[in-house]
Amino acid sequence: MSHQHIFEGGFCTVCGQTQKNCLVAENSTSCCDTCQHDEHSHEAQGEIVKLFMPAIVSLLLLLLGLCFDQLMQPDWFKGVIRFIWYLLAYWPVGLPVIRDAVKNIAKGNVFSEFFLMGIATVGAFVLGEYPEGVAVMLFYTIGENFQSLAVRKAKANIKSLLDQRPDEATLLVGNTPKVIKAREVEIDDVILLKPGEKLALDGELLSDTASFNTAALTGESKPDTKTQGEVVLAGMINLETVAQVKVTAAYEDSKLSKILDLVQHATTQKAPTELFISKFAKIYTPIVVFLAIGIVALPALIVADYSFDEWLYRGLVFLVISCPCALVISIPLGYFGGIGAASRHGILVKGSHFLDVLADTKQVVMDKTGTLTEGVFEVQDVQLQEGVEEAVLLKLVDALESNSSHPAATAIHRYTGNSGLQITMEQVEEIAGHGLKGMVDGQELLVGNFKLLDRFGIRYDMDPSSIVHTTIAISLNGAYQGYITIADKIREQAQEAVKRIQDLGVNTTMLSGDKRTVVSDVARQLGIEDAYGDLLPDDKVQKLSEIKERYGQVAFVGDGVNDAPVVALSDVGLAMGGLGSDATIETADVVIQDDNPVKIPMAIRIGRKTKQLVWQNITLAFGVKVVVLVLGAGGLANMWEAVFADVGVALLAILNAVRIQRMDF
């Protein structure tokens, strides 16, 4: 038996085992103990055969009946026997539809697609058009089956995420490994992760180093090397060495669990197009039923040689043509496919509505730090007033900055190192957009931008605008002490991301609280048209309002937490690094899991392609139906043309909708 397994980084992408462990004997039925790929394949094939079996039986009986009708036409195949034969052909595909129609009527939903198909095919039998009645229901059932397969494929991306949560974990009890259910592992327990195994829970790496495949979380197969103390997440696959992990979250609270919940709920958030079609179908269906009745009854008043059978046939054809299957099926499927395609690339979209907004976006507004830059600052220079002792002052600054989560605080701490000094801090206050103020060892210390010093009337003898890098000004007891410069590194993919956004015909703007000289320098390097620095949170909101008035639909890209007011004002908020923050997942409308800015234009392309496919289906369905409806009402289209207008168009729309899952973005 041949096993089509692919190995990346030394592990099997199907079962997660190392290549050595995944090798099989010639007579083996599976590649390793944990991989049942072939068995699952057979099960899936069995389900497909079971799904299509009623249609296969019906088709065989229909074809045999047509052969007897057209070729042999024996006397014994007429009358009651012919009726019974075609009734048997109708039964496997017609009974489930009739049953669903009755159930819907019992619930008060009379005018459903099942009702249309039921009365149309029963009417065909009443008229003696047995083959056409069977054909209509047969092809309708085949269309429904293809819909089921398409939905199953669209869900495959989400299910593949579910598969990344192992049910078991190896718990270390002392030095003894014990395999238990992952749900039974508690916070602070230590678990053992062998090469090729998937991590079941979020935790902190206790081993010195370990490399992981994070494709399930980020869509990227490039190995990610973690060091001791770093966060590792459920779904990551250990590649090389045995690793120990200290659990930091329960199984159901893992980052992957929250991501899965987000994506699954996203499919219930409907886009305006979906909502319109749902409402339209509820109005449209009863209208066409009454029009069909009119086609049958009204000609009796105006046509001299009126034939009830002829006009009943036209009415039945009209009903079959008018069934809104193509719209009701393919449009939600198109959006579902778009969400699935995005999640496969590590982009989490919280609802199909946001795919529409991304498609119509005219302007992308981006934060600088952590979005276009790595958010990892390094101290570049320390310039202090004459007589100021650098080591002592920097320890005080570091102590005050320890109250801030800003990347600059981390950079200063790395620069100063651990002092070991006992420093007393009191009355610490963070002034939004300015910096920190506090009493450190009884002395008033100000650390922030030069606006902070201006605010407190601190005089200084230099021009801040002459400094290119981000500047941290320092004042002690009302006297200017000097400044520290720090710099951030532009992300490797940022320039490519900006170019791709602009190639889509979308304008780019950068808003930042960082100093204007830094923002302008980064914008120049990346080719961003408009850039604004020295912005307080309120300034960002005002600037974004101006941009919306000018361009219309606006997407904002930031960290999803610090820029919450701007995210709320934008039409769609994209957050970078969803794996790093629960708050990011909660705040943003779209989460880019791996911090890669190239995913921004990718999200826009997915939104545009999804909307394009949806409108292609709407145009196709309405165009064909209107033409055939007119022909059917005029007696120029028979039941076979009606089948194409209904089921054929539905199948074409479904096939068109699922294309997005195979596209490269």
Q: Which residues are catalytic?
A: 367
340 closest CA partner among 355, 325, 330, 329: 355
E strands, 194-288, where?
203-205, 209-213, 224-227, 231-232, 237-238, 243-247
In the structure encoding, which two tokens stand for residue 506, read together? 């979308």
The burial of 194, by beta-carbon neighbours within 10 Å (0-12 exposed, 13-18 middle, 19 or more buried), is given as middle
Distances (CA, A) of 499 to 334, 558, 572: 28, 18, 20
| Whole-angstrom distance, CA of residue 579 vs CA of residue 57 | 50
Token output for 450: 């030069």
User: Does residue 113 sit in helix, strand or coil?
Assistant: helix
308 HSE (CA, 13 A, CB side): 3
Residues 320, 112, 352: CA angle, nearest 5 degrees: 105
Residue 245, phi then psi, degrees to nearest 5: -130, 130
Is the separation of the CB atoms in 263 and 230 below 8 Å? no
Angstrom distance (rounded) from CA 585 to CA 350? 9
Tokens linked to 124: 């065909």
CB 140 within 8 A of CB 117: yes
Contact of 52 with 145, CB cutoff 8 Å: yes
> Phi then psi for 471, rounded to 5 degrees?
-120, 135
End-to-end Cα distance, the chain: 35
Q: What is the DSSP string of 604-661?
A: HHHHHHHHHHHHHHHHHHHHHHHHHHHHHHTT---HHHHHIIIIIHHHHHHHHHHGGG
Distances (CA, A) of 185 to 203, 237, 249: 11, 18, 9
What pairs with residue 592 in β-bridges? Answer: 347, 576
- Give 119's Cβ-side CA count (13 Å radius): 21
Contacting residues for 295 by C-beta, under 8 A, at least 6 apart: 311, 314, 315, 318, 633
User: What is the secondary structure of 9-62 as a DSSP string?
Assistant: TTEETTT--BHHHH---TT-SSSBTTB-HHHHHHHHHHHHHHHHHHHHHHHHHH
Q: Can you give the C-alpha Rg of the chain in angstroms?
A: 33
